[in-house]
Amino acid sequence: MSASSTPYSGILLLNKQPGITSHDAVMNIRNIIGQKRVGHTGTLDPQAEGLLVICIGSATKIVQYLSNFDKSYEAEIYLGKSSTTFDSEGVITSDMPKAAPDFSIKEFSEMLDEFRGTFSQKVPAYSAIRVDGKHLYELARAGKEVERPERQITISELEVISYIKPRLTIRVTCSKGTYIRTLADDIGNKLECGAYLSALKRTGVNGLLLENALTIDEVEQLHKSGKLKERLLPFREMLDFSCIFVSDVFKEKVISGATLTSSDISGTDGSFSSGDRVLLKDKSGNALAIGRAEINSSEISQSTDSKIFTYSRVLN
């Protein structure tokens, strides 16, 4: 527990070092601060490093809502060899038919055009995704070949940082569920020289930056000095959905999941359609609950008997 004996509650930006799992990182934070309610919003592979967004205390209520954010990476791709795992763990020692190309950065950028935008990506054979109740990595280790599932992903930024043959370094911003390992393998297949992910660093999550993150050692030092709370971000500010403002009277009823009526609404911010995720906020802008809109924002003022809002999570 902290020096003040008050439980922590908020968002911690952690700089995970390579060699530990995301679960290990969470367990380390739990042990340091003496709290069980700690979780992360998106796994980093053990070999990867960089930004891990950690939710502590009441902030664990919004883990699922932060997991969908776009993420940014710097990735080093080794050209000229392939890997069964698409990373450095399963490198195949035999040389590929083609060597790593003598491309300029401009030529690489042009070649990467087909990997920008929205498309289907197959998950790696060595991944935790389940097929017929089994993890893919279990099936792969048993020598069983199965059809790997595909995901619709979006790569909104793909920039070449450097190329020192055979190592290509790129910057990627992508949607949830994107495998940078698969991207590396796909690039190798495109060049017909093979490739694997040799290093990966997550640099950002929806505007949250690695440069503002703490190492585990720094977290421990700040906790011992009673200054860790100053580095936690208010979790309600992480939620940037459209919102419905409610009256002061209704504000007190949110905790019990009271039904929202048009007379309880003092205004809206942003447009939304029926089925969209929205926030309930008080007049000061404090988020009270997350839920689903049952009508369009344009219909709020005309609503009488219609259901307006369905609760998903109360943020007390």
Q: Are 52 and 14 in contact (CB under 8 A)?
A: yes
> Which one, of 73, 61, 168, 181, lies nearest residue 121 by Cα?
181
Active site residue 45: yes
- 207: tokens are 């505007």
Kindly name the residue from 24, 45, 186, 240 that is annotated as catalytic.
45
Token duo for residue 201: 């660093």
Joined tokens for residue 185: 């393998």
Contact call for residues 66 and 238 (beta carbons, < 8 A): yes
Catalytic (active-site) positions: 45
